[in-house]
Structure 1
Amino acid sequence: MTGPAPLSGRQPKAVRSALAVLEEVVAAGPGVTAKEISAALKLPQATTYRLLNLLVAEEYLVRLPDLKGFELGRRAARLALPVVTTPPTAARAVVDHLRGLVRWGVHLASFRTGQVVLVDPDPDHPPSDGALLARYPQVSALGRLLLAEQPDWHALVREERSFTEHTIPAAGLGAVLEQVTGLGLARQCGELRPDRGCLAVPIRAPGDRSLVAGLAIAGPPHRIAEPNTEIVALLEDHAERLAPLLA
């Protein structure tokens, strides 16, 4: 395999300029124009436009609907470390109520950062490492909820990795995500850990129904694979209760 081409003398300067443009958009806020960025950074307008077009193409920036200004894009959010915020007391009470009704672990995750971020993991049934869930969303039920919402889920799957003999390869993930969309729930059975499966339902904002979080239950893989009609109903009921509290 051929390695990456060595950097030329001009490339480090171009990288620094692109990062400076990103920093200026952060500092100036949504709607900053190319002319304003060019003036603030003392860059030629042609160079500024070239860098902006590149950053838009790579989804680090997006053009506002009026085409006059720019704001941060989807990929720029991934440059910052996810901020784990504690859910409000009322939301934690809803999750605790569900924990009192089932024997398995119950976990609450936020999708606000574009990643799976556990904000209320079950202390009595510790979940898998949160960093793994964020890095490999394709092998967790919560991660599949997030992937199923994406126009192009491949952008969030950084690398393929088989954790167990049951891990579904990326080639088969498209069909799995179609099932998630159709059923309104996600499931994985022994794909991340051979002794653990997970069932998750989405939590959506009451207004626009955008995906803001996920509620999951974890237990033995063979039990998670069952229809679990009553458990799904409990999950969906508590997800509806959580929606106005987390929106």
Structure 2
Amino acid sequence: MSTGLDPVPLSGRQPRAVRSALAVLEEVVAAGPGVTAKEISAALKLPQATTYRLLNLLVGEEYLVRLPDLRGFALGRRAARLALPVAPPPSTAARAVVDHLRGMVRWGVHLASFSTGQVALVDPDPDHPPSDGLVLARYPQVSALGKLLLAEQPDWRALVRDLRRFTEHTVTTGAELSAQLDAVAGSGLARQCGELRPDRGCLAVAVRGPGDGALVAGLALSGPAHRVAEPNDDLVELLREHADRLAPLLA
């Protein structure tokens, strides 16, 4: 007979349910914001009905939240300690460098940090709003900033879990993405032309620590896809110059 302190005795099935719920949380952390129930079910080899029940429970307890635009899930308020650390905002001096570049070009200028292991926009251009930051973090292969990050990895597959197609120009094969990332590593310049939105593209260069050359951030220009396809050399040089100025301010 149960007591007032333990109204429902622990059954043999409950520990398995607890382990499954924790595994779902771990998969959301590993996969990043926007992971879907179907993807979680496949990764954990759980029945879809079980996965949906666990997700509903975790959402109800605020460990997860639904992301309607992405049709997926992200960590909620009560799981904040499980999330990757938030990238610190850039200093006033760093913002001044970014603002200076904005005053010289008609393109959007965005600064991203890689300190969390994902693309984290820390100074997006207010006059040229970028794509959803959650999408950029979840699918780094469809942004120039993301390609900078992937080109640094021993194996980009550790950060890319889904080669999802967004437009007819989206790279959806591992061989093609590997070739692109090899080019980024060789030139130090990343670009995407209509891979996330058919009418938009972006160029990005790395901001590296002045001591060890570690990748700390990325500086990007966003504009019409056809302009990105064949960028002006002077524009690229301007982008590199400002990235160099940012290096001692962000390291």
Same fold (TM over 0.5): yes
- Asked if 1:106 corresponds to 2:105, the answer is no
**Residues of 2 paired with 1:122 and 1:10: CA distance?**
48
* 3-state SS, counterpart of residue 96 of structure 1: helix
Is the contact made by 1:104 and 1:219 (CA closer than 8 Å) also made in structure 2?
yes
- Asked if 1:94 corresponds to 2:97, the answer is yes
Letter in 2 for 1:159: D
Q: Percent identity?
A: 71
Is the contact made by 1:195 and 1:220 (CA closer than 8 Å) also made in structure 2?
yes
Q: Give the aligned partner of residue 186 of structure 1.
A: 190
Q: Give the aligned partner of residue 234 of structure 1.
A: 238
* 3-state SS, counterpart of residue 86 of structure 1: coil
Unaligned runs of 5+ in 2: 1-11, 24-80
Judged with a 3 Å threshold, the aligned counterparts in structure 2 of structure 1 residues 134 and 17 are, in CA distance, closer, same or farther, namely closer
* 3-state SS, counterpart of residue 191 of structure 1: coil
- Asked if 1:218 corresponds to 2:222, the answer is yes
- Asked if 1:139 corresponds to 2:157, the answer is no
**Residues of 1 paired with 2:18 and 2:228: CA distance?**
53
Q: CA deviation at 1:168?
A: 1.1
* Greater alpha carbon shift after TM alignment, 170-179 vs 100-109: 170-179
**Residues of 2 paired with 1:167 and 1:245: CA distance?**
34
Judged with a 3 Å threshold, the aligned counterparts in structure 2 of structure 1 residues 181 and 17 are, in CA distance, closer, same or farther, namely closer
* 3-state SS, counterpart of residue 162 of structure 2: coil
**Residues of 2 paired with 1:79 and 1:9: CA distance?**
23
**Residues of 1 paired with 2:103 and 2:19: CA distance?**
56
Q: CA deviation at 1:85?
A: 2.3
Q: Give the aligned partner of residue 160 of structure 2.
A: 157
* Greater alpha carbon shift after TM alignment, 8-17 vs 184-193: 8-17
Q: CA deviation at 1:228?
A: 1.9
* 3-state SS, counterpart of residue 244 of structure 2: helix
* 3-state SS, counterpart of residue 124 of structure 1: coil
**Residues of 1 paired with 2:86 and 2:113: CA distance?**
10
Letter in 1 for 2:239: L
Alignment partner of 1:120 out of 119, 123, 140: 123
Letter in 2 for 1:198: C
Judged with a 3 Å threshold, the aligned counterparts in structure 2 of structure 1 residues 103 and 17 are, in CA distance, closer, same or farther, namely closer
Q: What RMSD, in angstroms, separates the aligned Cα atoms of the two structures?
A: 2.3
Is the contact made by 1:82 and 1:117 (CA closer than 8 Å) also made in structure 2?
no
Q: Give the aligned partner of residue 197 of structure 1.
A: 201
- Aligned runs of 1:2-81 on 2, under 5 Å? 79-81=82-84
Q: CA deviation at 1:237?
A: 0.4
Aligned residues: 182
Judged with a 3 Å threshold, the aligned counterparts in structure 2 of structure 1 residues 17 and 135 are, in CA distance, closer, same or farther, namely closer
Alignment partner of 2:86 out of 65, 83, 87: 83
* 3-state SS, counterpart of residue 221 of structure 2: strand
After the TM superposition, which parts of structure 1 deviate over 6 Å for at least 4 consecutive aligned residues? 7-10, 12-18
Is the contact made by 2:167 and 2:198 (CA closer than 8 Å) also made in structure 1?
yes
TM-score between both structures, scaled by the size of structure 2: 0.68
Unaligned runs of 5+ in 1: 1-6, 19-77
Letter in 1 for 2:161: R
Letter in 1 for 2:209: A
Is the contact made by 1:94 and 1:241 (CA closer than 8 Å) also made in structure 2?
yes
Q: CA deviation at 1:84?
A: 3.9
TM-score between both structures, scaled by the size of structure 1: 0.69
Q: Give the aligned partner of residue 170 of structure 2.
A: 167
